[in-house]
Structure 1
Amino acid sequence: MSVTGGTIARLLLMRADDGTDLPVDIPRGPAREAAERELSKPMYHQNDPNLLQRGLDRFWEWVDGIFNSAAGATPGGAVGLVTIVLIVIALTVALWWRLGTPRRSPATGSALFNEGPRSAAQHRATAEEHAAAGHFNQAVQERMRAIVRALEERALLDPRPGRTADEAAAEAGRPLPDHAEALRDAARTFDDIAYGGRAADQQAYLRFKELDNQLELTKPQLSTVTPGAAG
């Protein structure tokens, strides 16, 4: 008999004259209260789980109940539920891989250049430093600034404070029609990275770098240079 059982049993027995134990007829209410008082003593709770452990046990019981309920309502039971969960995870990973980080549309077209005047060479050098450090978001942005600054230095764009990447791409596409689409794509990517929360990678930076190099070697169609640009 356990310590608890023995103690409660002693509460319900009395000693007879001949030394034998006789059961005591105690009403149910007082008997229950006596048992509760006995069981409330610290000696019976030394090995009880602490508050955190009890909370975790309740949480896992809740999770297990949800899982069992879902498994009971799913064709194939638990195996079917696990299969569905794995399919959902696989689809989520595939969509994330295909679409990348969810984009947020920029609220406004912010200016391309946020600092004082810097040459295209300076922007390129900064872009290379960011790329070497693995900071491709900054590298892509600096390379886009280098592209636009180089077009200004070649008088294919008139220097204009507050110009956005989209405006620069649209204006540069006129004297450089063969690269108009690539410029528009670069401007959209710049906006997505700078203002839309999209993450750039090495391949994105290399595309900007290649576009920059191609533009340097491309002869413009001078008859369509932006009006007001120097000849």
Structure 2
Amino acid sequence: MTGPGGTADDIPLDIPRVPAQEAAERELSKPMYHENDPNLLQRGLNRFWEWVENLFDSASGVTPGGVVGVVAVVLVALAVLGALWWRLGTPRRTPSGGAGDSLFDDGPRTAAEHRAAADRHAAAGQWNQAVQERMRAVVRSLEERALLDPRPGRTADEAAAEAGRSLPSHADGLRSAARAFDDITYGGRTADEAAYRRVEQLDTAVERTKPVLEPAVAATAFTEAPR
């Protein structure tokens, strides 16, 4: 139907809003409109870098020097963490098997057996294991000589401190060997041949050294000696 002086083509086309929106969405969802869109990985990376950029923008607003100040703070923090890591090694861990910091983590073996195991590891260039076994040989030898009481759960530091009282000339060497054992076993450090040779020499020297009796022990031995 036409109005006065008009035609059917002059009638305005009035389409409801919701159907029009749905028609537009259907049209835009066609693959031809999305051939050049970034893939899922690219979209994820773009959002990540947008988040990083926003984070730096926010931090630069409260940090002296702006973005340069933020970068400087991050570099200083990384330098401090690197220095601590180098000085302390990896975080201290507890060995498996519930042995804690115990020097001996397996069944009882003689000093000779520990020395033989150390020699095998040294021949194979396995310096960590060689140092560990040689330190165990030192302590087991002291127990076999009755200079240390056999005690389950004893640590390398405890053994060195106790043995140093009866072998004062080797107290420093015993402490150094115990520290090397701990650094290797719990601190993530790596030993070399020089470290092993030091413990090996200590083992030989301790084996040849006569103990110094403490005053109380010497007095007891004198009073209990047969007349």
Give, in angstroms, the shift of residue 142 of structure 1: 0.5
Structure 2 length-normalised TM? 0.68
Cα-to-partner distance string for 1:60-112 (whole Å, 9 max, x where unaligned): 22122112222232222222221221121112212222222233589855353
> Sequence identity, in percent?
57
Contact 2:88 2:187 (8 Å CA) reproduced? no
Corresponding residue of 1:76? 65
> Which of 150, 160, 169 is the matching residue for 1:169?
160
Q: Deviations over 1:177-217 (max 9, x none)?
A: 122243244335535644x4543422644442342243245
- Count, aligned residues: 203
Partner of 2:141: 150
Q: Using the alignment, how far apart are the partners of 2:177 and 2:70 within structure 1?
A: 44
> How far, CA to CA, are the matches of 1:166 and 1:201 in structure 2?
18
Distance 1:25 1:75 in 2: 61
Answer yes or no: is the 8 Å Cα contact 1:104–1:192 preserved in 2: no
Question: Quick check: 1:156–1:175 contact (8 Å CA) kept in 2?
Answer: no
Q: Once the two structures are superposed, what CA deviation does each residue of 1:144-192 show, in whole Å capped at 9, x if it has no partner?
A: 1121233355x25367363623453344223311222432443355356
Distance in 2, Cα, partners of 1:199 & 1:158: 28
* Equivalent pair of 2:103/2:153 in contact (CA under 8 Å): yes
Distance 2:61 2:148 in 1: 69
Q: Is the 8 A contact 1:113 1:162 kept in 2?
A: no
Question: Are the counterparts in 2 of residues 127 and 143 from structure 1 also a CA contact under 8 Å?
Answer: yes
Amino acid paired to 1:162? P
Q: 5+ residue gaps in structure 1?
A: 1-16
Range 104-113 or range 128-137, more displaced: 104-113
Runs of 4+ deviating beyond 6 Å: none
Flag structure 2 segments of 5+ consecutive residues without an equivalent.
1-6, 219-227
Provide the aligned C-alpha RMSD in A: 3.7
